[in-house]
A and B are shown apart, each in its own frame.
Chain A
Amino acid sequence: MIKRLFDWLIQPLGLIAVSIAVLALFSLAAYGINTTQQPPAQPIQFPHRTHIAFGVQCLYCHPGAARGPAAGIPSQSKCWGCHQQIAKTNDPKSELRFLKAAVESGTPIQWIPVAQVPDFVQFNHRAHIAAGKNCEDCHGDMTNLTLAENPQVFNMGWCLACHVKNAGDDHAKLVKLTDCGTCHY
Chain B
Amino acid sequence: MSNKFSRRDFLKLTGVGAATTAILTGCGPASRYVKREPYMQMPEYNYNGLSTFYATTCRECAAGCGLIVRTSQGRAIKTEGNANNPLNLGKTCARGQATLHGLYNPDRVTDPMKGDSKITWDEATQVVADALKNNKPEEIAFLMGTAPDHLFDFVSDLANAAGINVPVRFNALSMFESRATLSKAAENLFGKTGLPFFDVGGAQIVLSFGANFLETWLSPVSYTRGFAGLREAQTKMRGKFVQFEATMSSTAGKADEWIPLKPGTEAMVALAIGKLAAEMKGVSASAFEGANPEDAAKKSGIKLEALEHIAEMFAHSGGALAIPGGAALGQSNGLAVAEAVLALNALADNFGKVGGVYISALAPMQTEYHGPASAQEMQDFIKNMADGKFKVLFVHGVNPVFELPAALGFKAALKGVGQVISFSTFPDETAAEANYVFPDHHGLESWGYQRVATGAAQPVLSGAQPVVSPFYNTRATIDLLLAAGQIAGGKFALTFKDEVEFLQSKVAPLMNEADGFFSAPDINTFMASFQQYGGWWKTTDGRTVPAAADVLNKSMSGAESKFAGEGEFFFVPFVSPTLAEAGANKPWLQELPDPTTTVMWNTWVAMNPKTAEEMGIEDDDVVRIVSEFGELEVPVYKYPAIRPDTIAIPFGQGHTAYGRYAENRGVNPTDLLGQNFNEAGDLAFAGVKVKIEKTGKKKPLSRLESIMGVYGVGMGEEH
Contact = CB atoms under 8 A, between A and B. Distances in A.
Interface of A: 2, 6, 9-10, 15, 18, 21-22, 25-26, 28-30, 32-33, 35-36, 40, 63-64, 67-78, 106, 108-113, 116, 125
B27 A33 contact: yes
Contact of A36 (B28, B35, B48): B28
Contact of B32 (A30, A106, A116): A116
Nearest to B49: A70
A113 B36 contact: yes
Nearest to A69: B49
B29 A32 contact: yes
Contacts of B10: 6, 9
Contacts of A109: 37-38
A159 B121 CA distance: 54
Interface of B: 1, 3, 5, 7, 10, 13, 17, 20-21, 24-25, 27-29, 32-42, 47-50
A6 B7 contact: yes
Contact of A29 (B25, B47, B48): B25
A149 to B, nearest CB: 14
A2 B7 contact: yes
Given A36-B27, A116-B34, 5 more contacts: A10-B5, A32-B24, A33-B28, A35-B28, A76-B41
Contacts of B25: 28-29, 32
A71 B37 CA distance: 14
A64 B72 CA distance: 13
A70 B48 CA distance: 6
B49 A112 contact: no
B38 A113 contact: no
Nearest to A78: B42
Contact of A68 (B32, B38, B40, B49): B49
B7 A112 contact: no
A25 B50 CA distance: 43
Nearest to A107: B40
Which 5 interchain pairs have the tightest Cβ spacing? A72-B48, A70-B49, A29-B24, A64-B48, A108-B37
Given A9-B10, A32-B29, A110-B35, A64 B41 contact: no
A30 B39 CA distance: 37
Given A36-B29, A64-B47, A70-B49, A76 B24 contact: no
B36 A77 contact: no
Given A9-B10, A32-B28, A35-B28, A75 B41 contact: yes
Contacts of A106: 40
A183 B555 CA distance: 71
B497 to A, nearest CB: 25
A76 B37 CA distance: 10
Contacts of B37: 108-111
A35 B35 contact: no
Contacts of A21: 17
A64 B7 CA distance: 58
A25 B28 contact: no
23 contacts: A15-B1, A22-B17, A25-B17, A32-B25, A36-B27, A36-B32, A40-B32, A63-B47, A64-B50, A68-B50, A69-B50, A70-B48, A71-B48, A72-B48, A73-B36, A73-B38, A75-B41, A77-B42, A111-B37, A111-B38, A112-B33, A113-B34, A116-B32
Residue among B1, B25, B37, B49 with the highest chain A CB neighbour number at 10 A: B49
